[in-house]
Structure 1
Amino acid sequence: MTSAEIYIKNKLEERRSSGAYRSLKPENSLIDFCSNDYLGFAHSAALKHNIETELQKNSANLNGSTGSRLISGNLNYTEELEKQIAAHHQYEAGLLFNSGYDANLGLLSSLAQRGDTIILDELIHASVIDGARLSYANRYSFKHNDLNSLEDKLKHAKGNCYVVVESVYSMDGDTPPLMDLLNVTEKYGAHLIVDEAHAVGLYPTGLIGHLGLQSRVFASVVTFGKALGCHGAIVLGSNLLREYLINFARSFIYTTATSFHQLAAIKVAYAFLNNAGEEISQLQKNITLFKKEINVNETYPLRTSDSAIQCIILKSNNKARELANILQAEELDVRAILSPTVASETERIRICLHAYNTTNQIIKLTSTINQFINVC
């Protein structure tokens, strides 16, 4: 073995011995309680049919985009779609990225400069952390949803300051006090950036739109791979911000543009979202039912969440994996979330509820969890 191979082997063995080894699993026929397909769009035959119809209407478009948007990959269709999405969320402008990871990477790495400050909630998504790392800015984190901790960091901020939070946190499912966050960031002249990945679908325009805060939020990131059932992302903000990202966001500039098929899927998914009142209502009912039926305790608590993401803290990789295995044996697809993805002693099962989950499925899920916790 070479020295590099020895290093790789040792690191993998360390991960196996700690119980944190990751592996890929193919699709299965279990009852879905783990995907981010909250409204069932990814499963929708009607959505698939409408995407095919949209492709047929625009049959002259190529299979691939042929290059970056600054070379050969830009289309009038793309720019019109960006305007439509921005209007849906009531922002001035938007810029499409190939994924939510690319959007956060491009936005954060290009926006903040040496001498500026980025302040992140400690539970922010890894893509935001990586984007901040690639900037030359000073970086701080504040305690999760803690306004006093945030204000303490804001007092030491230099240059242009950007505070970044999620409207629904991906691993806890909870929501920050956005009005209070805006008040404290504005007090110090900072700019709030909100990742809306897990809020769109729970709210048709995201939580920012639901609360009518677009004019006070500097930028918002919306992804299409969750409730919209397709792929990609958009950064929403001002026309000025859009122009800046076209010129300076490396994950936008130096990548092949989105294919037409993906653009068509996004457009059709937004048309479905505009008429998804029944699905959103059913999702809310399923969340209420789950919270009513689950019976947790102080040893293994349920995270406070009104979203589709519900987490039970098992406090060890082994316990989390044990409960996930029991649920999967009952044909319920729930996954364990292990450290280091989450902090040590916050290992958990992460349950994603959907509009298409039935009452019987949710009762079976909660009953199996309740039985496990009572025995423990």
Structure 2
Amino acid sequence: MPKFPTKLQQKIDERIRNNALRVLPGLSDRIDFSSNDYLGFSKASSIFSEAGAILERTVSQSNGATGSRLISGNHKLYGKVEALLCDFHNIEASVVFNSGYDANIGLFSSVPQRGDVILYDEFIHASIRDGIQMSNARAYKFKHNDLENLEMLMGKNVDGVKEVYVVTESVFSMDGDAPDLKKMLEIVERSDARLIIDEAHALGVIGENGAGMSQYLGLESRVFARVVTFGKAMGCHGAAVLGSSELITYLLNFARSLIYTTALPPHSLATILASYGKLKSLGAGDSQLLKLLNNIAFFKSEVLHKGLKEHFIDSDSAIQCCVIPGNDKVKLIAAQLQEKGFGVKAILSPTVPAGEERLRFCLHSYNSTVEISEVLGLLATFVI
């Protein structure tokens, strides 16, 4: 084998020195406090069976899509999924991408043009940052969920600019908190700017039917674009951009991560259909959604009861984060929790800023109150 490049080895060595080297974990049977499977859909036998039934009803035997959507891969299940998305999310048009990463890369690399401005929350998804870097627009970050800072940046950058795009998440993946979308939209509309919202961690969790934060607040018709992903609460794979018919036509013509990739296989689309069918049946009284909401409330009450509140970021979502500064310390505590059978993961710098390393607890409908109480009781022995 050729000698590995010195500069690349130095970057690996630096990660090792900072105790921040990423390695792929093995599967474990620990109590799940780390996956994004908030409703347990990824293991739902009813969804698995319904996906198979959909394939039998609608698709001839096929293991793959055979090409990109614009060549040979636009099989009939794509139309069914996109029609369902429009109906469920109360939107004019939608287009499915292979992943949330592909959706954000395609949207942000193609829509903002040279001379446009993008204002984005400093804690935005890495995929959005990467898409922004690929665009020709000027981009500026605003302080996390700080609307005053956003207004200040808009005042500096709106004059003479053709288009301004403001970008946020409805639930932030590393903090679990949410912006004030109503006030943000008011600020955006006053300047004739356009709001884009990533709903990855709100879909399936926020609102009576899990449609996400925008619909829960009744804002969907005023948002330029929404990104919904299916690999979290939906328990499957893929993503979609929701917006106007003009936006979707534009993406079909200019979003390279959609145009130049093999389409999803029929089974992936069938699973999305089955997962949405399950989600549509979830009402306020449904056991899975209600259990998740009850577990979130119980977790927060236990944090308070066990004297841990000062260590946790305030969140009403399924993501609850305990800040423990330092890669060494947070990794040690995560390992101790894992030794006791709890699947809690440490989030290290540089994924989060240095000094803001944390344990990230993802809550699910299938976690029990006993498990929640035990893991927080154990955590309290380490941090108090």
TM-score, with normalisation over the residues of structure 1? 0.97
Change (3 A) 1:189 1:313: same
Q: Which moved more, 1:46-55 or 1:319-328?
A: 46-55
Query: What residue in structure 2 maps to residue 264 of structure 1?
Result: 270
Change (3 A) 1:312 1:296: farther
For 2:91 and 2:5, the matched residues in 1 are separated by 49
Query: What residue in structure 1 maps to residue 35 of structure 2?
Result: 35
- Please state whether the residue corresponding to 1:242 is helix, strand or coil: helix
Query: What residue in structure 1 maps to residue 352 of structure 2?
Result: 342
Query: What residue in structure 2 maps to residue 358 of structure 1?
Result: 368
For 1:84 and 1:16, the matched residues in 2 are separated by 47
Q: After TM superposition, give the deviation of residue 366 of structure 1 in Å.
A: 1.1
Question: Are the counterparts in 1 of residues 171 and 199 from structure 2 also a CA contact under 8 Å?
Answer: yes
Give the number of equivalent residue pairs.
Answer: 373
Change (3 A) 1:259 1:53: same
1:278 correspondence with 2:287: yes
- Please state whether the residue corresponding to 2:139 is helix, strand or coil: strand
- Please state whether the residue corresponding to 1:304 is helix, strand or coil: coil
Instruction: Render the CA deviation track for 1:302-361: whole Å, top value 9, x for unaligned.
Output: 001000000000011111101101110110000000000000100000000000001111
- Please state whether the residue corresponding to 1:193 is helix, strand or coil: strand
Q: Which moved more, 1:357-366 or 1:29-38?
A: 357-366
- Please state whether the residue corresponding to 1:70 is helix, strand or coil: coil
Query: What residue in structure 2 maps to residue 311 of structure 1?
Result: 321
Query: What residue in structure 2 maps to residue 169 of structure 1?
Result: 172
Matches within 5 A, 1:99-114: 99-114=99-114
Question: Are the counterparts in 2 of residues 54 and 264 from structure 1 also a CA contact under 8 Å?
Answer: yes
Question: Are the counterparts in 2 of residues 88 and 205 from structure 1 also a CA contact under 8 Å?
Answer: yes
1:9 correspondence with 2:19: no
Instruction: Render the CA deviation track for 1:249-306: whole Å, top value 9, x for unaligned.
Output: 01000101111000000000000001133211110100111111123458x6100100
Query: What residue in structure 1 maps to residue 205 of structure 2?
Result: 202
For 1:118 and 1:296, the matched residues in 2 are separated by 41
Query: What residue in structure 1 maps to residue 243 of structure 2?
Result: 237
Question: Are the counterparts in 1 of residues 95 and 248 from structure 2 also a CA contact under 8 Å?
Answer: yes
> Which segments of 5 or more consecutive residues in structure 1 lack a partner in the other structure?
none
Question: Are the counterparts in 1 of residues 59 and 266 from structure 2 also a CA contact under 8 Å?
Answer: no
Change (3 A) 1:93 1:134: same
For 1:137 and 1:296, the matched residues in 2 are separated by 46
For 1:63 and 1:2, the matched residues in 2 are separated by 37
For 1:218 and 1:257, the matched residues in 2 are separated by 25
Question: Are the counterparts in 1 of residues 308 and 380 from structure 2 also a CA contact under 8 Å?
Answer: no
Question: Are the counterparts in 1 of residues 65 and 72 from structure 2 also a CA contact under 8 Å?
Answer: yes
Matches within 5 A, 1:1-376: 5-155=5-155, 156-157=157-158, 158-203=161-206, 204-276=210-282, 277-294=286-303, 295-297=306-308, 301-374=311-384
For 2:248 and 2:61, the matched residues in 1 are separated by 25
Which residue identity does 2:195 align to in structure 1? L
For 1:356 and 1:311, the matched residues in 2 are separated by 19
Change (3 A) 1:61 1:113: farther
For 2:76 and 2:302, the matched residues in 1 are separated by 50
Q: After TM superposition, give the deviation of residue 76 of structure 1 in Å.
A: 2.9
Q: After TM superposition, give the deviation of residue 8 of structure 1 in Å.
A: 2.0
Which residue identity does 1:338 align to in structure 2? L
Q: After TM superposition, give the deviation of residue 59 of structure 1 in Å.
A: 4.5
Question: Are the counterparts in 2 of residues 321 and 336 from structure 1 also a CA contact under 8 Å?
Answer: yes
- Please state whether the residue corresponding to 2:5 is helix, strand or coil: helix
For 2:86 and 2:27, the matched residues in 1 are separated by 34
- Please state whether the residue corresponding to 2:311 is helix, strand or coil: coil
For 2:315 and 2:57, the matched residues in 1 are separated by 42
Question: Are the counterparts in 2 of residues 296 and 373 from structure 1 also a CA contact under 8 Å?
Answer: no
Question: Are the counterparts in 1 of residues 229 and 240 from structure 2 also a CA contact under 8 Å?
Answer: yes
Instruction: Render the CA deviation track for 1:214-236: whole Å, top value 9, x for unaligned.
Output: 11100000000000000000000
- Please state whether the residue corresponding to 1:343 is helix, strand or coil: coil
For 2:118 and 2:350, the matched residues in 1 are separated by 23
Q: After TM superposition, give the deviation of residue 137 of structure 1 in Å.
A: 0.1
Question: Are the counterparts in 2 of residues 33 and 351 from structure 1 also a CA contact under 8 Å?
Answer: yes
- Please state whether the residue corresponding to 1:192 is helix, strand or coil: strand
